Amino acid sequence: MTLARKQSPSILLVYPSCFNYPEDLERADIKTSQLWLASYLNRFYPVTYADFEIEIGRPGTPVQIKRFERKVRQYLSDQPFDILAISCWASLSYRASLSVARACRELFPDRVIAVGGYHATARPHEFITEENLFDYVITREGEIALREIADSYDTVGRPSEPKIIVGPTVTGEHFVGYDWDLLEAHYRRAFREPVEAGYIYLSRGCPFGCSFCMEPAKERIWRAFSPEESVDILFEFVNRFKLFSVGVADACFGMKPAWRKEFLRRLVDRRPEFWLVFETRPEYFDPEDIQMVSHLKAELQFGIESGSPEMLLLMRKTKQPGKYLQRFWELSQMLTERGVLHRANMIFNHPGETRKTLDETFAYMDRFLNQNGSYLMWANAGYMHFPGCEIDTHRSYYEEKFGSRFICGDWWNQDGNQNENCLRFIPSRDLEGDNVNLWERMMATREGRMRDCLAPRAFKFAAHKYFLEWQDDYRYASR
């Protein structure tokens, strides 16, 4: 039975932006995670979605923050709503979330303010403030919890004291599709220029518990739209917004083989003209999948993270690191043979990293770099510390066992460049001082091989998307 949509209370769902996060760093333009939540709520109550990062900006100085806060106050004054729901998606948005809530509380003392997201799940008590900015702090998933808050609004209104709520899990059979009209209304209002690329979610949940990831703090059961619905969602997303490419942002894409294979078969049958990006694990692709993906304009990304068996165990990436690394070696060979673009994502300076584990990782990478005509690209980054992951929960273990040092501590509460602060970290006693940047120096000696080992098509793709400085190479202009 379909319930009639009520006219009140009205909900304003806001992505609050980030403070002190460099403007030149990549951002997600169409934030489908929040828009998926808005789509669910909009079936029951009037919902407006606002992305302050896009519509107002990403302030980086005290003067810019003051200007941002003035514009937020003006927006909230002009927008009718009963419940303000703030999506503190990541810790980068913590200070902006406080700022938006403070502006609302000063303007409208009796309005209900709720907050959710990864940071709210990791640090719910950080939202219980002396100013009583937040009425509800929602951990885990937000759909059902926010709907229940709206359902009780007429009788409860603003509660007498703040509450921390564990959001119930939305099961796959109760997934609500994207409200494309709501998404398009936001798009037309927020963007003056067309957006070429977007990301979309087709599933939720990841059964793995990687040490550096915040995902295990949420429900770990894998749930997805049906394969047929998933393909329809991709095409509708691209057609609505005239996208050149779309990335599937699932925490664990294609975990179930039957789902994955039916999805790929249906996708290939539709013959998409747009580019696709999938991020998954090497054990979730086999020769049959590769054969199907080879008919698509696609890039596969694999979170390999390390080439050191010791580090993979410490990262909780796998219980069988030798088998895991060999599986990716074999998979990469098959993908290259079929001409499928693929990327390995690597994390360096994870707590416990040493010169020995770096040597192991680069020896593993060298196996690939010593081959020519490869379709494998590498994405390499230092460890970024976020609350809610296993490392954060057990900081003292890493400090005592390895000599790890979290230099900026709770950096999301501090001034300064937040991107730099979350990277300021000593992985071990063996990699302190000048050795903290050892991995970057080791990588620099391999930059030429990372470029020269690529097949012509893979080189041009990488130069266009990832390594713009490679465009000066004569091979980029050659046909």
Provide CB contacts within 8 A for 178, sequence distance 6+: 32, 35, 36, 39, 200, 233, 236, 237
Structure confidence by residue, pLDDT tens digits, 347-382: 999 999 999 999 999 999 999 999 999 999 999 999
Average pLDDT, the chain: 96
77, 139: one domain:
yes
137, 221: one domain:
no
Q: How confident is the model at residue 1 (pLDDT cuts 50, 70, 90)?
A: very low
Instruction: Note the helical H segments in 191-250.
Output: 227-241
* Whole-number pLDDT of residue 237: 98
> Which three-class secondary structure state does DSSP give residue 16?
coil
5 inside domain: no
Judge whether 83 and 57 are in contact, CB under 8 Å. no
Structure confidence by residue, pLDDT tens digits, 174-200: 788 999 999 999 999 999 899 999 999
User: Identity (one letter) of the amino acid at 298?
Assistant: A
Structure confidence by residue, pLDDT tens digits, 3-47: 578 889 999 999 999 999 988 778 878 999 999 999 999 999 999
pLDDT > 70 in the chain, percent: 99
* Torsions phi, psi for 54 (to 5 deg): -85, -45
How far apart are the C-alpha atoms of 38 and 449, rounded to whole Å?
46
Structure confidence by residue, pLDDT tens digits, 236-272: 999 999 999 999 999 999 999 999 999 999 999 999 9
Ordered DSSP codes for 173-204: GG-----HHHHHHHHHHH-SS---EEEE-SEE
Tell me the mean pLDDT in the region 191-212: 95
166, 178: one domain:
no
Residue 343: which domain range? Answer: 174-477
100, 186: one domain:
no
Which residues pair with residue 378 across a beta bridge? 344
169, 212: one domain:
no
Which tokens belong to 361? 């990782």
Into how many domains does the chain fold? 2
> Which three-class secondary structure state does DSSP give residue 369?
helix
The residue out of 135, 150, 173 marking a domain boundary is 173
Range 114-123 burial, b when 16+ CB lie within 10 A, else e: bbbbbbbbbb
Q: How confident is the model at residue 463 (pLDDT cuts 50, 70, 90)?
A: very high
Structure confidence by residue, pLDDT tens digits, 148-176: 999 999 999 999 999 999 999 998 877 88
The residue out of 148, 173, 198 marking a domain boundary is 173
